[in-house]
């Protein structure tokens, strides 16, 4: 099949979160299955291309009272995937992808409307796909436009659409005044289309008009149909539940593999775990923790500091946990309140908790390799990747049973010796503490802990199987337009 991806970010060209990892990896896995894959991305200031070849020098995008002009740059073919970039000053002249220190860019509706229209128009020139696979609110207008302004365009009469929601908390909500600016007819501004509390909701429109909606885990696909996790769109998603599919993200084991990791001081594997002890000593040294603490379990956290990630639970639970024999090492940035919280806890427990306020890829790899336990108590987590990385590195995850954390981590059972980690259900500090205590108790039993580590290291969350699941969804979406 011919599949065209449209996304606002993708590694190695641009990234703010997990969306970029998916867009960087899934197309390659689909190409390996024999599909013809094209990816469209904005050309941002941070985008670096080895070669730039302009294939469409002047693409016209109409707005209400003026015209926009952009170029389509051929980014080349990599791992069987063809990349194109939409080049326009509204992307290339700014440091951030979506905003800066003052917040989101006020013209994001115009920026990503332009991108969506450019993808459609460029696809007419290069050959329309069997399916457009669009991601999150930034490209959710593509299904809306195809089923309205392009409804009678014979180039797309057989083109299906699939929308992936990576995080329903981000929806692209704008004042209704953008409707005429973007040349969107007022007929779309209704409760069952784009209208959302008297504003325009791009993601809602995409959900309504896409042939299929996917999310990045099976549990999250169910959760977003509930009031607690649907962020106001639960009814819209639930109305489409027969075409909502949860597919767990894969991970790149070429980048995250303790047998080959270039960032860690010693490699290790299921047949030889000795390197992990060396990584633990190096990690303690990195954080300035005395080597005598190497016999204690090290709990690692790598995260954006935000309440969504469970840091309000940590704030309530850590003062008590840190009185026990454990070392807590943190890496991340985010909410200044939680940055301050960790600094305060470090002063109180200087040899038990240390924090690095930074984004550091090398240190992230060392934390995964050198920690014994990885803590991820998210309030909600569409998929999550770090718990999967942790298991491959023999670092046992302690997670809240939500979204992808529920789907990827199996509760440890000491009697059967099965399971890969520890889970807790309720979003409360006592339940978090209880789960950590279960992990600490298991850590003291050397043979049991080794089996738990090996169970996690033998898990396979590569992209091959998710790619097959996506291909099946594409077939269904395409079939809807050909019957």
Q: Is the pLDDT of residue 160 over 90?
A: yes
Q: Round to whole Å and give the CA distance between 52 and 221.
A: 39
Give the tens place of pLDDT for each residue, 273-288. Answer: 999 999 999 999 999 9
Edge-first strand order for the sheet with 173-175 is 173-175, 199-201, 195-196
**Residue 408: exposed, middle, or buried by beta-carbon count in 10 A (0-12, 13-18, 19+)?**
buried
**CATH 3.40.50.2000 in the chain, residues?**
2-250+464-480, 274-457
H-state helical runs in 147-251 = 178-181, 202-209, 218-223, 234-239
Predicted confidence (pLDDT) at residue 483 exceeds the cutoff of 80: no
| Interior/surface letters 44-56, b for 16+ CB within 10 angstroms, e for the rest | beebeeeeeeeeb
Instruction: Say what the pLDDT of residue 50 is.
Output: 86
Neighbours of 257 (CB within 10 A): 15
Q: Domain 274-457 belongs to what architecture?
A: 3-Layer(aba) Sandwich (3.40)
Q: What pLDDT was estimated at residue 43? A: 97
Backbone angles phi, psi at 374, to 5 degrees: -120, 125
User: Is 259 in a helix, a strand, or coil?
Assistant: coil
Contacts of 230 (CB under 8 A, 6+ apart): 168, 223, 224, 237
Which of 433, 316, 311, 330 minimizes the C-alpha distance to 378?
A: 311
Q: In what order do the strands lie in the sheet with 2-6?
A: 53-62, 67-78, 81-87, 36-42, 2-6, 131-135, 160-165, 212-215, 244-246
Can you say how many angstroms the Cα of residue 312 is from the centroid of all Cα atoms in its chain?
21
* Nearest-10 Cα torsion for 315, 320, 323, 328: -30
- The pLDDT tens digits for 123-150 are 999 999 999 999 999 999 999 999 999 9
Categorize the per-residue pLDDT at 482 as very low, low, confident or very high, splitting at 50, 70 and 90.
Answer: confident
Alpha helices (H) along 85-226 = 89-92, 108-126, 141-146, 178-181, 202-209, 218-223
Flag whether pLDDT at 466 surpasses 80: yes
Euclidean distance between CA atoms 129 and 475, whole angstroms? 12
Query: What are 402's two structure tokens?
Result: 């939500």
Q: Provide the 10 A C-beta neighbour count for residue 252.
A: 16
Q: Does domain 2-250+464-480 have CATH number 3.40.50.2000?
A: yes
Q: Give pLDDT tens digits for 193-221.
A: 999 999 999 999 999 999 999 999 999 99
Q: For residue 156, what pLDDT is reported?
A: 97
Q: What are phi and psi of 10, to 5 degrees?
A: -170, 135
According to the model, what pLDDT value does residue 17 have? 83
pLDDT more than 70, % of the chain: 100
pLDDT at 243: 98
Confidence of residue 86 (pLDDT cuts 50, 70, 90): very high
Q: What is the mean pLDDT of residues 39-68?
A: 92
Between CA 299 and CA 250, with CA 22 as vertex, the angle to 5 degrees is 60
Q: Which residue has the higher pLDDT, 244 or 360?
A: 244
Q: Taking the model in full, what pTM does it have?
A: 0.93
Considering the chain, what is the average pLDDT of its residues? 96
Q: What are the CA-CA distances from residue 269 to residues 288, 299, 367, 417 (Å)?
A: 27, 20, 16, 20
pLDDT value for 138: 98
pLDDT in tens, 438-454: 999 999 999 999 999 99
């Amino acid at each position: 099949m011919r599949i065209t991806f449209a996304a606002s970010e993708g590694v190695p060209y641009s990234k703010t979160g997990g969306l970029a990892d998916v867009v960087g990896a899934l197309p390659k896995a689909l190409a390996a299955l024999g599909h013809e894959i094209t990816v469209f991305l904005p050309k941002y200031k941070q985008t670096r291309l080895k070669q730039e070849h302009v294939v469409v020098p002047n693409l016209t995008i109409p707005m209400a009272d003026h015209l926009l002009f952009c170029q389509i740059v051929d980014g080349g073919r990599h791992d069987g995937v063809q990349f194109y970039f939409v080049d326009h000053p509204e992307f290339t002249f700014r440091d951030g992808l979506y905003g800066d220190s003052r917040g989101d860019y006020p013209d994001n509706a115009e920026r990503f409307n332009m991108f969506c229209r450019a993808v459609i128009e460029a696809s007419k020139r290069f050959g329309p796909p069997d399916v457009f696979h669009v991601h999150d609110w930034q490209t959710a207008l593509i299904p809306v436009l195809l089923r309205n302004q392009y409804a009678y365009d014979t180039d797309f009469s057989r083109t299906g659409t699939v929308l992936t929601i990576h995080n329903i908390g981000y929806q692209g909500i704008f004042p209704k005044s953008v409707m005429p600016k973007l040349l969107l007819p007022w007929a779309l501004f209704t409760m069952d289309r784009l209208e959302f509390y008297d504003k325009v909701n791009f993601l809602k429109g995409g959900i309504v008009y896409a042939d299929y909606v996917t999310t990045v885990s099976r549990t999250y696909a169910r959760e977003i149909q509930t009031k607690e996790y649907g962020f106001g769109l639960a009814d819209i998603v639930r109305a489409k539940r027969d075409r909502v599919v949860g597919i767990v993200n894969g991970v790149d084991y070429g980048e995250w593999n303790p047998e080959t990791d270039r960032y860690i001081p010693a490699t290790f594997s299921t047949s030889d775990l000795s390197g992990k002890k060396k990584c633990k000593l190096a990690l303690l040294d990195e954080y300035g923790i005395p080597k005598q603490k190497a016999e204690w379990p090290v709990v690692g956290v790598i995260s954006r500091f935000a309440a969504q990630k469970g840091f309000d639970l940590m704030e309530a639970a850590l003062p008590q946990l840190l009185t026990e024999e454990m070392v807590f090492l943190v890496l991340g940035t985010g909410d200044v309140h939680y940055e301050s919280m960790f600094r305060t806890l470090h002063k109180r427990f200087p040899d038990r908790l240390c924090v690095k306020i930074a984004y550091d890829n090398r240190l992230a790899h060392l934390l995964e390799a050198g920690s014994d336990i990885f803590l991820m108590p998210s309030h909600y987590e569409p998929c999550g990747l770090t718990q999967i990385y942790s298991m491959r590195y023999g670092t046992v995850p302690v997670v809240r049973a939500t979204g992808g954390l529920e789907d990827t981590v199996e509760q440890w059972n000491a009697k059967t010796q099965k399971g890969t980690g520890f889970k807790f259900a309720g979003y409360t500090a006592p339940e978090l503490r209880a789960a950590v205590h279960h992990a600490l108790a298991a850590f003291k039993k050397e043979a049991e802990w080794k089996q738990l580590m090996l169970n996690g290291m033998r898990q396979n969350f590569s992209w091959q199987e998710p790619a097959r699941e996506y291909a099946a969804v594409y077939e269904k979406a395409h079939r809807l337009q050909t019957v």
